[in-house]
Homo-oligomer: A and B are copies of this chain.
Amino acid sequence: MERELILLGLLNRQQMHGYELHDFIESNMQMCIDLKKSTAYYLLEKLEKQGHVTQTEEQQGNRPPRRVYHLTESGKAHYQELLHKNLSSYLPARFGGSIGIAFLDDVDEETAVSLLQQRHQQISQSLDNTKKIPNHPGAFQYLIEHQRVHLQSELDWLDKLIQKIKINHLINSTNS
């Protein structure tokens, strides 16, 4: 549902074609969603069938024609519906990535530290990436800030965890 919401939200600002939409999402929202091209095209087709958007073709020289989409009235209503639902509800954020934490005891401490450091590195990278995103007016900026806060909190927590494991390791190794 959220992919549809993004497309509608962007189209609510201005008409855009599929490639453009995908491109914008990839370069400005990559930290919170990964929308594949084929999914974007598929979704736009679906929205058109449902009457939420309409197409107009734009020819640019010899290139494949751009299919520029715009919201219909029905689309605007649908957009508001999805937006309200999204804002009002908290979908237990899929923390797939953290599940392994529950089973940390099943890898030895050196390995654990090294694996978690790799993870740390990636989160750090993600955080850096959010800094490359150009500034946007209005609420869009909130999303980016939210992501930054989240990533920073993840990083802090990970640091503490790694410290704990290192200390445990010292204790265990001096005891044996």
Q: List the interface of chain A (C-beta within 8 A of B).
A: 1-2, 5-6, 9, 12, 29-34, 79-80, 83-84, 86-107, 111-112, 115-116, 118-119, 122-123, 126, 138-140, 142-143, 146-147, 149-150, 153-154, 157, 161
Contacts and interface: CB of A to CB of B under 8 A. Distances in A.
B101 A139 contact: yes
Query: How many chain copies?
Result: 2
Nearest to A161: B142
Contact of A122 (B9, B89, B147): B89
Contact of A89 (B101, B105, B119): B119
Contacts of A79: 106
A21 B1 CA distance: 29
Nearest to A111: B84
A33 B92 CA distance: 8
Nearest to A153: B153
Given A87-B115, A88-B118, A115-B88, A97 B93 contact: yes
A115 B84 contact: yes
B103 A83 contact: yes
A95 B84 CA distance: 16
A74 B122 CA distance: 29
Contacts of A100: 5, 83, 86-87
Given A87-B115, A98-B32, A9 B106 contact: yes
